[in-house]
Structure 1
Amino acid sequence: MKIQNPVLPGFNADPSMIRVKDTYYIANSTFEWFPGVRLHESKDLVHWNLLPSPLSTTTLLDMKGNPASGGIWAPDLSYADGKFWLVYTDVKITDGPFKDMTNYLTTATDIRGPWTDPIKLNGVGFDSSLFHDEDGRKYLVQQTWDHREYHHPFNGITLTEFDLDTMQLKPETARNIFNGDDVKLVEGPHLYQINGYYYLFAAEGGTVFTHQEIVARSKTLDELSFEGEPDGPFITNIDTPDFYLQKQGHGALTSTPGGEWYYASLVARPWNHATESSHDPRGWSTLGRETSIQKVEWDDEGWPRVVGGHGGQVEVEAPKDAILTDAPKDHSQHDTFAQSTLDLNWNTLRQPFTPKLGTVGNGELKLVGQQSLSSTFDVSLVARRWQAFNFDAETQVKFEPFSYQQMAGLVNFYNDKHYSWIFITNDEQKGRVIEVAQNDNNHYTSFLKDQAIAIPADAESVWFRVKVRKESYTYQYSFDGQNWETVPVELDAAILSDDYVLQTSGGFFTGAFVGLAAVDYAGYEEVATFDHFDYQELPD
């Protein structure tokens, strides 16, 4: 078997990969999307199945009001003492001199839960991980934030002992074990104990095209005792601008039962418009930061090296002892809303799916109109990741708005400042109409205006479809589900990419989503009813 990268396509950033007996698990960041932390499992590193997310209640995760790309940053999954340990960070500020955040710990004996109520750890820095030493002691390892304008904000890697008796940190033990190098922005630390050394894996260079992972090691956990890997970095694509995979770096190391080694890393697959250089800009990552897996070997000096060079490979040899894992051939989805709970592919913004937002079951998804898609509080949006460059998505919606302040339809969404949609609304002269609109860095454009498409009085519902074709996408509508009309508006997919959002915002860490939404900012909670949802992936 071959590992085909990325193994987790679409927004699956900051992988924390572990193995428990013959099964591998990956935990990924989810930022402002609920539920928190995305989990997958596999027995072959090739085929992966989605698991329920652990942070599924507001007891474990309360993100109401969090900014775009706040919330869950770089969770750390580990296994020790017969249970899973999950450390996660809830970030409340993304821009400016401060990064107000809280790090939490929860545990479970089964990866599918239940997970214990969270233990508050600290707010020293994000990207925290838990290291289980062979002597039984445990330590929190984390990026360290410094707000002082005369210091670099990324102030090294802090190690703090965790007291198992009190289940709290011992702040008096905190020490800086590594400052990184001149690339700066050292973050995402993971510690491993291998062949008499402590190995520290850490990311540098920011989560852009200069991203990289470095390795340092030490015989002790003393202050500033770690030395960096010669001839590094361990993995990067900064010097491979024409390679299919880009931005590789932040990730985690694991071994197979047979003693082989693999490294899971975030990765991106940017594309360019035909009129652009492929080097500047290097491209637009509409699928966000995904997960790749590279094979690792150890050199004669005991340093880890990525097989094939530090740029990595698209096709990687699977473990010799891999156990074939049954998994879907792609990420297509057909949802008739028959069940009383949402499919695992669905996500909501900042809050769980409750009756305040809507209900699902008996063939219907009902969404209660709430605040606009530009709000960071009460938003009735149910969405799933773009996981392919080319796909069609379709739904059928019933909605009876009596005001232009009421809207419901099919959405393509990056964050509260960058999205577009086709929707039913009300026009004072025409009654129910179809409009297409886009929010581009808070510049909102209604494309049809006085040409908004009147909905026939006898049309009980309207069908909407989006056709995404890598660089651009278009919307369609139908009044019978058979005969379709294309709205003559072609939208640039780059606006829904990490790299586009980065130009104006510090919160650029997620990826594009497609989904269903209802808005009633008039405050009358008009309900939209969706009959089905289809997401069909197409070949690149």
Structure 2
Amino acid sequence: MTQSNIIQNPILPGFTPDPVILRVGKVYYLATSTFHWFPGIQIFESSDLAHWTLRTSVIHDANFLKLKGTATPCGVWAPDLTFDERTQKFWIVMCQMHNMNGNLFDQDNYAMFADTIDGPWSKPIYLNSIGFDASLFHDDDGKHYLVTLEWDTRKGYQHPGAIVLEEFDPEQKSLVGKTTRISRGGTDRGCLEAPHLYKRNGWYYLMTAEGGTGYGHGVVIQRSRNIQGPYESDPMNPVITSTPYKYFRRNDPDSLRIDLYNAKAPMQKCGHGSLVHTHTDEWYIVHLSARPLPGTTNCTLGRETSIQKMIWTDDGWLHMKSGGTLAQATTEGMTNVEIKSESQLQVINESFDTSIDQRLISPYGPHDESWVTLDARPGWVRIYGRQSFFSRFDVSLLATRIDSFQTTVETSLEFHPIHYSQSAGLVLYYDDCNWLFARLYYSETLGTTGLAIMKGEKSQKDEYLLDRIAVPEGKAEIKAIIDYGEVQFSWRRPGEQDWQHIGPKIDIQYMSDEQAGGFTGLMAGFGAWDAYRRQSYADFDSFKITPKQICDQFDELI
């Protein structure tokens, strides 16, 4: 492997939004939003800031994290991860968004603590329901503070609201004292959110996201000598963005703002930052970013995580070391820390011998013995069919993020349906309204098990009836080749060498935030449903995800 001191963005490609970073010693942790996926809150680990592996997930208690019925994009939003040096405890603050109808936003914020990053985590401590994107700050005097976006629902008042400060007492496990509004934003971009507090040289620094979660996004910094303010805005604000010009959009509820797309920006939607001071005495901000399909504004991979190296100016402001405010596709690595030229893309080659890869997660609830088991058939995972992929309740689906525009997804299964409403196979999934399902099912027309594609788009179903194939033995290997905005499904019988196309190339751009109207990203997985008697099951022998970049590197080696 060749060595380099350059970090390539995004550092976590694919659906990894709203990043927060933490250093403990020489180890770096990064947490992201999981929305309606279970378990809640994924934590990644790195030693070089460039390459990250999934270390653990935080919320496994389905009695607490009740996601059934959750409408996209509700669920777990913008976790905060901190470490209290005095008590040597890790803290997580998270928001569970229940409902967004009428812009009232019904949500609850909780805190949890643990002695290690792997847990066990404490029972959730209820904090407030005033808004979202809450974070915890441990001051050097031993006090603890929560900063939250106060979501203002009143007609005639500026939306979304203000950043509010509240003291938190870990002993009482509650907020104490009054609520103080400390900022209504450091710019006129509007859509204020994602507050984090930091302290350096006697200054309190308030970092926020402004401009919406879309093309006008930015990282904004303000500071004050007093934690309660008043806070002054950095004259360079936003300090990181994809749209480095000033504009006025306060009180504009449009968070996507496609009209602000900047074709000259190396990356898009850059904002929602989190700051870390490295063990090498350097500073970095991780932030949200996105990459639209070439020639479009559609981001099928969802919102991703990127990083920028920062420097402190002589007058005490934090700016990108590269200069300017336009987020860059690369940034300098830490001094004297080796970065190897390994891919940041995830590869999955799951054979289900003894366990299920922790990167495979499920929507609306945990994968438990009620619908998934490794015990029924050694070397296989058995999935019992439940509700369809249009459901927000009992969905039998295991999936992981797609993080490359060119990716191959494969699975091998055996399935013997007896009713047309029983299906199992390979899935590309954005949310309950938007997905593609290459499936085995019972076809009355063919008089046997068939293989065909079903499509869910904006809650409407379609089927590629002219392309179905009889598979009476009920055994098939199914493959999806994703090539930017299209996918081609193929199949073969186990033991065969050649793949045969099933169906046409299908446009998948409808599975993007811009088309679907959500905040997640494209996932790939396997699953089953049964609307007959909820008795059928499918056995899956393997599941693979291979980005084309990895395939090309392998071809070069041989």
Tell me if TM exceeds 0.5.
yes
Alignment-derived partner of residue 540 in structure 2: 530
Q: Give 2:497's match in structure 1, choosing from 482, 501, 505.
A: 482
Contact 2:266 2:327 in 1 (8 A): no
Q: 1:380-427: per-residue Cα shift (whole Å, max 9, x none)?
A: 000010011111111111111111111111000000111111101112
Deviations 1:98-138 (A, max 9, x none): 11111111111111111111111111111010011111111
1:370 aligns with 2:386: yes
Call closer, same or farther: CA 1:161–1:327 in 2, change over 3 Å: farther
Which residue does the alignment assign to 2:163? 157
Distance 2:516 2:534 in 1: 33
* Identity, % of aligned positions: 36
Kindly indicate whether the alpha-carbon contact (under 8 Å) linking 1:396 and 1:464 is maintained by their aligned counterparts in 2.
Answer: yes
Give yes or no for the alignment of 1:264 onto 2:274.
no
Q: Contact 1:51–1:344 (CA<8 Å) still a contact in 2? A: no
Q: CA deviation at 1:329?
A: 6.0
In 1, distance between residues paired with 2:336 and 2:83? 21
2:401 corresponds to 1:385: yes
Contact kept, 8 Å, 2:372 with 2:381, in 1: the verdict is yes
* Residue number among 411, 421, 428 corresponding to 1:395 in the alignment: 411
Matches within 5 A, 1:393-472: 393-430=409-446, 431-448=448-465, 451-455=467-471, 457=472, 459-472=473-486
Runs of 4+ with >4 A deviation: 323-329
Q: Does 1:352 align with 2:374?
A: no
Matches within 5 A, 1:304-343: 304-308=318-322, 309-322=324-337, 330-340=345-355, 342-343=356-357
Question: 2:52 is matched with which residue: 44, 48, 51?
Answer: 48
Q: Which residue of 2 aligns with 1:196?
A: 202
User: What corresponds to 1:513 in structure 2?
Assistant: 523
Query: Does the CA contact (< 8 Å) of 2:44 and 2:52 recur in 1?
Result: yes
- Counterpart of 2:509 in 1: which secondary structure? helix
Check if 1:255 corresponds to 2:272: no
CA distance in 2, matches of 1:357, 1:127: 33
Counting matched residue pairs gives: 521
* 1:116–1:467 Cα change, 3 Å: same
How far residue 524 of structure 1 moved from its aligned partner, in angstroms, is: 2.5
Match of 2:240 in 1: 235
Q: Which amino acid aligns with 2:512?
A: S
For residues 190-217 of structure 1, give each alpha carbon's deviation from its aligned partner in whole angstroms, at most 9, with x where no partner exists.
0001111100000011111111111111
Residue deviations 1:436-477 (CA, integer Å, cap 9, x gap): 12111112110125x52111x3x2411111000112111111
* Contact persistence 1:14–1:250 (CA under 8 A): yes
State the Cα RMSD in Å.
1.7
* 1:179 alignment counterpart: 184
Verify the 8 A CA contact 1:370 1:523 in the aligned structure 2: no
**Higher mean C-alpha displacement, 322-331 vs 110-119:** 322-331
Find the aligned partners of 2:336 and 2:147 in 1 and give their Cα distance. Answer: 32
Secondary structure of the 2:264 match is: coil
Partners of 1:42 and 1:325 within 8 A in 2 = no
- Give the secondary structure class of the aligned counterpart of 1:126: strand
Match of 1:295 in 2: 309
Letter in 2 for 1:483: D
Alignment of 1:214-225 (within 5 A): 214-222=220-228, 225=230
Structure 2 counterpart SS, 1:150: coil
| Matched position secondary structure for 1:44 | coil
Q: CA distance change for structure 1 residues 325 and 344 in 2, over 3 Å: closer, same or farther?
A: farther
Structure 2 unpaired stretches of 5+: 245-261, 553-558
Shift of 1:323: 6.0
Q: Could you tell me which amino acid in structure 1 is paired with residue 299 of structure 2?
A: S
Aligned counterparts of 1:97 and 1:355: Cα–Cα separation in 2: 38
Q: Which residue of 1 aligns with 2:556?
A: none
Separation in structure 1 between the aligned mates of residue 439 and residue 88 of structure 2, nearest angstrom: 50
Does the 8 Å contact 1:48/1:327 carry over to 2? no
In structure 2, how many angstroms separate the alpha carbons of the residues matched to 1:537 and 1:338? 23
1:164 Cα deviation after fit = 2.4
Q: Is the 8 A contact 2:481 2:487 kept in 1?
A: yes
**Partners of 1:298 and 1:321 in 2: how far apart?**
20
Q: Which residue of structure 2 aligns with residue 275 of structure 1?
A: none
Equivalent pair of 1:207/1:247 in contact (CA under 8 Å): yes
Whichever residue aligns with residue 411 of structure 1, its letter is V
For 1:90 and 1:428, how far apart are their aligned partners in 2?
44
The alpha-carbon deviation at position 357 of structure 1 amounts to: 2.2
Aligned pair in 2 of structure 1 residues 482, 149: CA closer, same or farther (>3 Å)? farther
